[in-house]
Amino acid sequence: ICACGNKYSHRFREFKMGRRCPKCSLKKRYGCRTDKDHKKISQVYDKLMSRLIKAQYSNNVSSESMLGYNKMDLYKHIKSFDNIPENYEVDHIFPIKAFKDHGVDLIEYAHIVNSKENLRPLCKKENNQKSDNYNLQDFINYLKKYKITPTQNPYGIEFLQY
């Protein structure tokens, strides 16, 4: 019987190596990351990273320095939302297309495009309906907050030069 109360059977050799019941092993290995949401958020993080690598971002730079956070930070951020829908996706509040339309360099500003502040859980259906739509004024304020001057201006909006 394990310390957690589970019955298990291992060979003595495995016990000496520190292996315990499957439940304790997972908890020791992954901590709080054993729930189903961690897998989904981990996949989102990996997808963000693969986009950056495909876009010729240096492989020598750590993912944490590229994005400004790690998988566990993203997990905590998503879990901090109230009323997370059952069937959710991680949504960019300001879609990548918005940054492209305004000529924001997706590689140079990857940490802003994919910042935790720009990510939220959203029901799959709502995310599909939202598509590439966003509030233009909020987007402009978001760019101003990070002192980004767009190189393209598809809507003829005046930006301050920073």
pLDDT at 35: 64
User: Which residue is associated with the tokens 């598509």?
Assistant: 131
> At a CB cut-off of 8 Å and minimum separation 6, what does 132 contact?
95, 97, 98
Over residues 137-156, the pLDDT tens digits come to 899 899 999 998 888 877 77
Q: Is the pLDDT of residue 126 over 90?
A: yes
Q: Does the global pTM surpass 0.75?
A: no
At 86, list the tokens. 């059952």
Closest CA to 45 of 104, 90, 99: 90
